[in-house]
Amino acid sequence: MVRPCYIGVDLGTSGCRAVAIDQTCNIIAEERTDLPEPVRDTAGGVEQDLWLWRDALIRVLRGLTSQLGSCVPQALCLDGTSATLLLCNLEGRPLGPALMYNDGRGLAEAECIEQVAPRLSPARGAGSSLAKLLFLKRRRRPGPGTLALHQADWLLGYLTGHYGVSDWNNCLKLGLDPRTAGWPPWLSRLELAPVELPRVVAPGTELGQISAIAARETGLPEHTLVLAGTTDSTAAVVATAAVRPGGAVTCLGSTLVLKIIGQEPIAAPQYGVYSHRFGAHWLIGGASNSGGAVLRRYFDDAEIRRLSATLDPDLPTGLDYHPLPAPGERFPINDGTLQPRLSPRPADDRRFFQGLLEGIARIEAAGYRRLHMLGAPPPKSVLTTGGGATNAGWTEIRKRYLGVPVMPARQQAAAYGTAIIARMGGIPA
């Protein structure tokens, strides 16, 4: 018996993952492959060869399709890292490596953008897609017919054979007006020509069927629909099934990322806050520099597991830490000079470890208060993703600070989120 299935792909910094789900959104197959580390230089450059992405995509799709048996793919959606940008020609041939999301060389370009962009625009800053576009224009000297695309845009172009389309979420930091989903007039003052901005559609919009070449290389049937993609963080929220206003998602990874669904967008760069379109709603969030990276400065994974088993959430340590891996914070305080507060350090490692977890929980609670102060709804509950999601003791500590139910998300993978978009034909409302 032939059964339909839907495929989601997540292209991250270190690897590519694909997930296939059935009509009831159960996972029926998964595949993953690693990527080489991006190339870094001493000037803050972080670049990656686009052909590595394409080859990784082909590998995971071939591996995935070999597991499907009687399940037949109907549609595919894909996410990529936010603000990873490249230039290519109309046939998709790149003009050089892509600038990764954390490439920080566009300082001079960011100053130009600040002269014309609205004060609340997410396109401001050296890490924005727009700053990277201007940097690449100056560096690569592109000719007529050059496209500016994001990681997901280019890979979806490979699958369809047609380039030049992007989505609401990827284009936020390229200057897109999130309310109108159009390019604002102030962009014309930056003289982007001959580089062309992509046509922008909603995530999940049908882009066409997979090309014959891509079908042959990936193992997908030629009738497979390819849908417009999104960013990795947005796909990860879709995976959690948080879809209504007040739904909140905390990612406890190397950094602490907070997202909450609201009915109106909020932009407050002075606090590191911006909003993505999210179906019929808005995904409002910010990211602190605190998180698991601080814990790993002092403890390895085995020590973290051992100390986690000794936590006593009902007995606070009284330590008033603001754990940061280095000076500087983005959210809920945006202060590039803010110093870590990690003293006094008790002789007891268990107490020190719990103090660190309490400090991160305080930052999380302050982050949701900041979002509420700016107009976001208060969280009704908090779903958790990332490495810290399964730490039961830390969850109890966070419940005390947040004052709402806190639980790990049943599904956390961004690839699962894009598979849901492929199944639903868009971000669920």
pLDDT of residue 370 exceeding 80 = yes
> Is 90 exceeded by the pLDDT of residue 111?
yes
How many angstroms from the chain centroid is the CA of residue 423? 20
Question: What pLDDT shows up at residue 13?
Answer: 80
- Is residue 242 helix, strand or coil? coil
Q: What is the mean pLDDT of the chain?
A: 94
- The arithmetic mean of pLDDT across residues 191-200, rounded, is 97
Same-domain status, 260 and 175? no
Is there a domain that residue 173 lies in? Answer: yes
State both tokens at 133. 């576009």
Token reading at 131: 């700053």
In terms of DSSP H, where are the helices of 275-348?
Answer: 292-298, 301-308
Q: Are 224 and 76 in contact (CB under 8 A)?
A: yes
- Give the CA angle between residues 422, 76, 223 to the nearest 5°: 115
Residue 286's CB is within 10 A of a number of other CB atoms, namely: 24
Please enumerate in sequence order all residues whose Cβ is within 8 A of that of 404, keeping only pairs 6 or more positions apart, or say none.
379, 380, 381, 382
The dihedral built from the CA positions of residue 360, 366, 368 and 371, taken in this order, carries a sign that is: negative
Pairing outcome for strands 39-40 and 27-34:
unpaired
3-class state of residue 233 by DSSP: helix
pLDDT surpasses 80 at 420: yes
**Which pLDDT value is given to residue 14?**
83
| pLDDT value of residue 102 | 84
**DSSP code, position 47:** E
| pLDDT value of position 10 | 95
218 and 256, same structural domain? no
d(Cα 236, Cα 374) in Å, to the nearest integer? 24
pLDDT of residue 262: 96
- Is the predicted pLDDT of residue 422 greater than 90, yes or no? yes
Same domain, 227 and 80: yes
Within a domain: 263: yes
**Helix, coil or strand: residue 272:** coil
Q: Are residues 221 and 353 in the same domain?
A: no
Q: How far apart are CA 407 and CA 284, in angstroms?
A: 20
Distances (CA, A) of 201 to 172, 204, 211, 258, 358: 12, 8, 20, 26, 42
Q: How many domains does the chain have?
A: 2
248-258 residue pLDDT tens: 999 998 889 99
**Confidence band (pLDDT; 50, 70, 90) for 214?**
very high
Instruction: Check whether residue 279 and residue 139 sit in a common domain.
Output: no
429 within domain boundaries: no
Residue 269 has pLDDT above 90, yes or no: no
In this prediction, residues 224-247 reach a mean pLDDT of: 93
3-state SS, residue 76:
strand
pLDDT: is 325 or 218 the higher one? 218
The verdict on 156 and 33 lying in the same domain is yes
Tell me if residue 277 falls in helix, strand or coil: strand
CB of 290 within 8 A of CB of 360?
Answer: yes
pLDDT at residue 12 in the model? 86
pLDDT score of 103:
87
pLDDT reported for residue 326: 87
DSSP secondary-structure letter at 188?
G
Same domain, 251 and 104: no
The answer to the question of residue 132 being in a domain is yes
- At residue 59, the 3 state secondary structure works out as helix
CATH number at residue 261: 3.30.420.40
Question: What are 126-179's pLDDT values in tens digits?
Answer: 889 999 999 999 999 999 999 999 999 999 999 999 999 999 999 999 999 999
Q: How confident is the model at residue 190 (pLDDT cuts 50, 70, 90)?
A: very high
Query: In terms of domains, do 335 and 217 share one?
Result: no
Q: Which residue has the higher pLDDT, 280 or 206?
A: 206
pLDDT at 429 over 80: no
Tokens at 320, concatenated: 């008033």
Q: What does the alpha-carbon distance between residue 303 and residue 157 come to, in Å, rounded to a whole number?
A: 45
pLDDT of residue 204: 97
Q: How far apart are CA 370 and CA 365, in angstroms?
A: 9
Enter the tokens of residue 368. 């949701």
**Do the bridges between strand 256-262 and strand 98-99 make them parallel or antiparallel, or are there none, so unpaired?**
unpaired
**Whether 98 and 204 share a structural domain:** yes
DSSP-assigned states of every residue in 328-352: -B-SSS-BTTPPPB--SPPS-HHHH
Residues 342 and 260 grouped into a single domain: yes
3-state secondary structure of 240: helix
For the whole model, what pTM was predicted?
0.89
Q: What's the pLDDT score for residue 284?
A: 96
Asked if residue 142 is part of any domain, the answer here is yes
Q: Is residue 286 part of a domain?
A: yes
Containing structural domain, residue 404:
242-409
- Whether 336 shows a pLDDT value over 90: the answer reads no
pLDDT tens string 81-108: 989 999 999 999 999 999 998 888 999 9
Does residue 95 sit within a domain?
yes
Shared-domain flag, residues 228 and 299: no
Residue type at 211 in one-letter notation: S
Query: Is the same domain home to 26 and 48?
Result: yes
Q: Is the pLDDT of residue 334 over 90?
A: no
- Which has more pLDDT, 329 or 184? 184
- Residue 253 has what pLDDT? 85
Q: What confidence score (pLDDT) does residue 254 get?
A: 83
What pLDDT score does 1 carry?
A: 74
The pLDDT tens digits of the residues spanning 42-61 come to 888 999 999 999 999 999 99
